[in-house]
Amino acid sequence: MDVTLLAYTPEPEKTVAAAARLCYSPLSGSELLEHLDEEQVQEFLTRLISQGHESPFEHASFTFSIDGVSRALSHQLVRHRIASFSQKSQRYVTEDGFAYVMPPSIASNKEHKHAFEQLMYEIMRQYSAFLSSGIPAEDARFILPNATATNLMLTMNARSLHNFFRLRCCRRAQAEIRQLAQLMLTEVKKVAPGLFTKAGPSCIAEGICHEGKMTCGQMQVPMRDR
């Protein structure tokens, strides 16, 4: 898995702070951006985060390149609706000899790992046979597994990212998408540390666990029953 932050709103923290200040100021957005200093920006971010007032966060967006993840992960990812996605098409890009993602729970067992690899090989062989016989890629792809590796680009605003991190950095999240969330969080903290200072699973972001009886039990925080 490879995650790269490709682009983001210039001065994302200052943009968010200006948007929040605008609601209570006679000044324009451009004037606020010009006059806000770093100390004021961080004060605004701290206040917004502590109050749970996240709507100004929507003015900062971040675009990621995500490579070498499974189609199983991408199916989970698109459930986060306030985002933009572009993904490698299995209709227009053939998957001869496709790369695949093997879950650690399978890779750690020699017998299961061998069975998994044999199954991938058989699917590759049959997929290639379909293409050779004239079946279009858009139909041959029906036999491809969720393990098939894919590449995509993802854009989310900071508010959606906070929600994504609360859900997907949790120990209860599936392993691959949890790894993705942690890598994305590392990337955005490099360019906007104040904006994501408390980002992470709900036990860190909110000080409460939403998993009820399904909690991992690792964080000593109150639990909210579902």
Q: Which two tokens stand for residue 176?
A: 């691959």
168 is catalytic: yes
Is the pLDDT score of 226 beyond 60? Answer: no
Contacts of 164 (CB under 8 A, 6+ apart): 80, 156, 181, 184
CA-closest candidate to residue 56, choices 81, 86, 25: 25
pLDDT band at 224 (very low <50, low <70, confident <90, very high): very low
Contacts of 174 (CB under 8 A, 6+ apart): 73, 76
Residues 65, 171: one domain? yes
9 within some domain: yes
Q: Where are the beta strands (DSSP E) in the chain?
A: 2-8, 61-70, 84-87, 149-157
pLDDT tens-digit readout, 171-207: 889 999 999 999 999 999 999 999 998 899 988 877 7
- pLDDT the model gives residue 225: 44
Which CATH number goes with the domain that contains 185?
Answer: 3.30.1360.170
- pLDDT the model gives residue 27: 65
> How many structural domains are present in the chain?
2
- pLDDT the model gives residue 219: 63
172 within some domain: yes
Arithmetic mean of pLDDT, 53-59? 89
What pTM did the predictor assign?
Answer: 0.88
CA distances from 76 to 69, 142, 176 (A): 11, 19, 10
Which of 21, 141, 166, 168 is the catalytic position? 168
Domain that holds residue 24: 2-84+150-200
* Sheet containing 84-87, strands listed edge to edge, beginning at the edge strand earlier in sequence: 2-8, 61-70, 149-157, 84-87
pLDDT band at 221 (very low <50, low <70, confident <90, very high): low
215 within some domain: no
137 within some domain: yes
Residues 129, 27: one domain? no
- pLDDT the model gives residue 53: 81
pLDDT tens-digit readout, 72-128: 999 999 999 889 999 999 999 999 999 999 999 999 999 999 999 999 999 999 999
Residues 65, 174: one domain? yes
Of 106, 122, 143, which closes a domain? 143
Arithmetic mean of pLDDT, 153-172? 94
pLDDT tens-digit readout, 12-52: 999 998 888 887 766 677 777 777 888 888 888 888 888 87
Residues 34, 112: one domain? no
